[in-house]
Amino acid sequence: MTDILCVTEYRVKAVSPWYTSPMHTSMSFFASAATSLAFLGIEGGVALAQAPVAPVAAPAPAAAVQWPTDAKGLDQLATKLATGWFDAAKAKDPDRSSAMLAPCFQMVTYRGAVDTAGVIAQLKGVTVGAVTLAGMSATRVGDALVATWTVAGEITLDGNAMPSSASPRVAVWQIIEGGWKLTAMGSLTMPTVRPAATAPSFAGETALNSEGQAMLLTFLNAQIKKDIPTFEKMLAPGMQVVNFKGQKVAADLVQGAKHATVQPPTINDARATRCGDLTIVSCNLGMAQKIGFTSLPGTPVPFLVVFSGTGDAAKVIAIGNTNRPD
């Protein structure tokens, strides 16, 4: 309508100053009308056919994340995810690293526990060179992917070069908002002479921290009291552990519980976070024990445990224990 009004207005204004006769007026009218029709895409009073506009196809929905169907596929998936984590650290790309983490993420190293913000801050002081990931062992436990492996190579933390020999790691991923997110990681990469553990860099929620500590204490007390049926019942099928002996599974823990002499634990600085049915608990744990000829000191050191479920239904799916013989 605006275009028609503009053309009509132009015709009136252009004709009126030089009007001389009706014939002239008629000719001017038809000439102006032809101009208007041509402007509107009409010739001889017949609208010109316009080429149909092809509909714009809607973007295809993102493919849903699929679980592998066999053990080999689980190992390959975990290798891809773990390699991506180290690649982002090597590239010093905090945005990429942050995008891999779940809101409930916790990581335990020899220095202590950190949450999402804490690990991104720590990565600024990490330099990753050539590293080799080996011995990948991945399992599916409910809706969690649990994996252990070893990493060897060039890793520097805050200017201090770590031993290049292989050290074990444990990690747990979940599918959150359509993608794999890292919910927990435990690293046993540490200097030959380890410093004292520090308090966590985050406060956590008081009620959840207390709940997480109680869950951990229930699990540890079953071991201390030699209540092997309860201890074994709390280990989920497919659970995995990393400790000073390397990568272990539930059967290894049960054997250790049967033969170890364990002192009552000291739990300091417990922190708990939760994503879905997973509760991630970290602390500085002091629990002296003797297994055969091997003794572990009672000095509190960083400890990580991931539970699936709560209360009496809680089961351990992953453990990262940084304690080691003196």
Q: What is the pLDDT of residue 92?
A: 93
Residue type at 50 in one-letter notation: Q
Q: How confident is the model at residue 6 (pLDDT cuts 50, 70, 90)?
A: very low
Residue in the structure block whose two tokens are 């709560």:
310
Domains of the chain, by residue range, sit at: 2-47, 71-321
How would you list the strands of the sheet with 261-262, edge to edge?
A: 261-262, 289-291, 294-296
Longest dimension (CA), the chain: 124
- In angstroms, the CA 112 to CA 134 distance is 25
For 249-291, what is each residue's pLDDT tens digit? 999 999 999 999 999 999 999 999 999 999 999 999 999 999 8
Q: What is the mean pLDDT of the chain?
A: 86
Beta strands in the chain (DSSP E): 42-43, 46-47, 101-109, 112-114, 126-141, 144-157, 160-161, 167-176, 179-187, 235-243, 246-249, 261-262, 266-275, 278-286, 289-291, 294-296, 301-308, 315-321
- Distance (Å, rounded) from C-alpha 119 to C-alpha 297? 27
Model confidence pLDDT, tens digit, residues 31-54: 444 444 344 444 444 444 555 555
Which range among 59-73, 133-147, 274-288 shows the weakest confidence by mean pLDDT? 59-73
Q: What is the DSSP string of 201-238?
A: S----HHHHHHHHHHHHHHHHHHHTT-HHHHHHTEEEE
Above 90 in pLDDT, residue 12?
Answer: no
Q: What is the mean pLDDT of residues 292-300?
A: 94
Q: Beta 101-109 vs 246-249: how paired, if at all?
A: unpaired
Can you tell me the distance from the alpha carbon of 249 to that of 162, in angstroms, rounded to the nearest whole number? 26
Answer yes or no: CATH 3.10.450.50 is held by domain 71-321. yes
pLDDT confidence bin for 14, thresholds 50/70/90: very low
